[in-house]
Amino acid sequence: MLSAEHNELLTRVGAGTPMGALMRRYWIPALLGWEVAEPDGPPVELRVLGEDLVAFRQTDGRVGIVAARCPHRGASLFWGRNEACGLRCVYHGWKFDLTGQCVEMPSEPDATNFQAKVRTPAYPTYEVGGVVWTYMGPPTRQPAPPLFEWTQAPESHRGVTKVWQECNWLQALEGGIDTVHTNFLHFGKPAPAARMDTGAVAFGAETVRGRAVNFSKAALVEVVPTAYGFTYGGIRRLPDAAQFVRGYHWIMPWTQLRGYSLDVEKPEVDGHMWVPIDDQNTMVWNFRYTYGTAPLTDDERALVGTGNQFGVDIDRETFRALRHKRNRYLIDRQVQKTQTYTGIVGVNTQDRAIQESMGAIADRRTERLGSTDRAIISARQQLLAALTQLEEGADPPGVTPEYYRLRALEQVVPPEVPWFAAMRTRLFQLEDEI
């Protein structure tokens, strides 16, 4: 369980809140690059950490992100003219550059120096991996660029989407780092096709992962704290007593990497970033990449089958899910009876359905967490500790680039061999101590 006080601390993200201050110390994925593809093209509205913003790609190709409201009379800069390296409010012609400085004020007399005194809030950006990132914290504390390995992969080797989720960021994160629900929510066939309590095959046995989750429905979860958050393993026994381990990383505050493939020619990693839009909404970023020589297929880059495909699962203009609580996620009760545990199409659509069902902000006071909830418990503890660090003037975990060389993976480990020792070199791509 979590006290009401701690739940408030971890879920409220607006300006002036402790968690809001913590999150503003990291690079935040704000836009897909193609949303502002055209220099001097239309501005784009966005909302991040409860702040209404406008993004624009100016004439020289750089992206600016500024407060949505013009500081003159509060008109929205979304209606502005993006021209000559600046965004001009159409109400009185005031023009702002990407630093937020007013550079032209045609509605005032030529002799005035008023424009030099006017600024609007603006945030620096960094574009990499097909994503425009922004930093909303103290300028003197700006961290190293967000160079996750997936951002360094060629476009042919990665796929990225995002989707609006209608609940608080924390329950979305906690659903993502919960490895055990996979057995039930995502794949398992219900009775009578396959009873989960009788050992009947409920997953495809053609893969090692499928055989492992068939044999070991209650995974052992182990968490190893690190300088950036933690790494953790979901450990399942195979019939021959070997261990199938899915190795994950959680990078403060909202990023998960998880192993996806045992294919040595095209090893894949995928993951999410659960970024608060505000207290009651989250933008879930979804990515997949390979660090092998072979590129991803078009379907793999589009994230087909995950519940995160544009045009099939997500509206490409609004980023809203096409299966949502108002249409009951298009649940098919007959499919639920005979084929899948949920009757809902799409792995992450299933996640959204359950996480949104908890309410806009989950009440954690009455929870009863078990041993397989170790990653969730650890994340809460580390987030609360990070709030204390920040209050004491220290930098929070994960702002230095230890995460640049992280790589999640799946691996079969021989019986009785400690999984972390067996996988450590590949998980961190290094030999030195973490």
245-278 confidence digits (pLDDT tens):
999 999 999 999 999 888 878 999 999 999 999 9
Read off the tokens for 51: 């702040």
- Please report where in the chains the tokens 């005032």 appear, as a residue: 108
Read off the tokens for 94: 């005031």
Contact partners, residue 35, CB within 8 Å, separation at least 6:
44, 55, 132
Helical ranges in 58-216 per DSSP H: 149-152, 169-177, 208-215
Q: Which of 118, 139, 160 is the last residue of a domain?
A: 139
- Please report where in the chains the tokens 């930098």 appear, as a residue: 395
CB 404 within 8 A of CB 148: yes
User: Is residue 18 within a helix (H) or strand (E), and if so which, with residue range?
Assistant: helix 18-23
* 19 in a structural domain: no
Read off the tokens for 202: 């409920």
How do 281-290 and 268-278 pair as beta strands?
antiparallel
Q: Cα–Cα distances in Å, from 47 out to 275, 277, 344?
A: 11, 6, 29
Please indicate, yes or no, whether residues 262 and 364 belong to a single structural domain of this protein.
yes
- Please report where in the chains the tokens 């600046």 appear, as a residue: 86
* 206 in a structural domain: yes
Please indicate, yes or no, whether residues 212 and 290 belong to a single structural domain of this protein.
yes
* 238 in a structural domain: yes
* 6 in a structural domain: no
Please indicate, yes or no, whether residues 328 and 287 belong to a single structural domain of this protein.
yes
Query: CA 138, CA 148: separation in Å to the nearest integer?
Result: 22
Read off the tokens for 81: 């003219």
Q: Exposed, middle or buried: residue 288 (CB in 10 Å: 0-12, 13-18, 19+)?
A: buried
pLDDT at 430: 59
Domain boundaries, position 342: 149-428
pLDDT at 260: 85
Query: CA 378, CA 90: separation in Å to the nearest integer?
Result: 50
Please indicate, yes or no, whether residues 242 and 330 belong to a single structural domain of this protein.
yes
Please indicate, yes or no, whether residues 252 and 154 belong to a single structural domain of this protein.
yes
Q: Which of 110, 139, 168 is the last residue of a domain?
A: 139
Give residue 7's identity as a one-letter amino acid code.
Answer: N
Please indicate, yes or no, whether residues 53 and 122 belong to a single structural domain of this protein.
yes
The number of domains in the chain is 2
- Please report where in the chains the tokens 């990078």 appear, as a residue: 251
Please indicate, yes or no, whether residues 375 and 348 belong to a single structural domain of this protein.
yes
Please indicate, yes or no, whether residues 119 and 193 belong to a single structural domain of this protein.
no
Query: CA 24, CA 421: separation in Å to the nearest integer?
Result: 35
pLDDT at 189: 59
Please indicate, yes or no, whether residues 129 and 182 belong to a single structural domain of this protein.
no
* 55 in a structural domain: yes
Q: Which of 139, 164, 197 is the last residue of a domain?
A: 139
pLDDT at 197: 44
Give residue 251's identity as a one-letter amino acid code.
Answer: I
Q: pLDDT tens, 64-86?
A: 999 999 999 999 999 999 999 99
Please indicate, yes or no, whether residues 235 and 111 belong to a single structural domain of this protein.
no
- Please report where in the chains the tokens 């989750």 appear, as a residue: 213
pLDDT at 184: 84
Please indicate, yes or no, whether residues 259 and 389 belong to a single structural domain of this protein.
yes
* 266 in a structural domain: yes
The alpha carbon dihedral of 78, 81, 87, 89 has a sign of negative
Each of the 434 residues of the chain gets a pLDDT tens digit; together they read 899 999 999 999 999 999 999 999 999 999 999 999 999 999 999 999 999 999 999 999 999 999 999 999 999 999 999 999 999 999 999 999 999 999 999 999 988 889 999 999 999 999 999 999 999 999 999 999 999 999 999 999 999 999 999 999 999 999 999 998 887 888 765 544 444 444 444 566 667 877 887 777 788 999 999 999 999 999 999 989 999 999 999 999 999 999 988 887 899 999 999 999 999 999 999 999 999 999 999 999 999 999 999 999 999 999 999 999 999 999 999 999 888 889 999 999 999 999 999 999 999 999 999 999 999 999 999 999 999 999 999 999 999 999 999 999 999 999 999 999 999 999 999 554 43
CB 118 within 8 A of CB 93: no
* 307 in a structural domain: yes
* 21 in a structural domain: no
The alpha carbon dihedral of 75, 78, 79, 81 has a sign of positive
> Where would I find the beta strands (DSSP E) of 279-382?
281-290
CATH code: domain of residue 156:
3.90.380
Assign 3-class secondary structure to 351-365. HHHHHHHCCCCCCCC
Please indicate, yes or no, whether residues 112 and 168 belong to a single structural domain of this protein.
no
CATH code: domain of residue 133:
2.102.10.10
Span between the terminal Cα atoms of the chain, in Å: 31
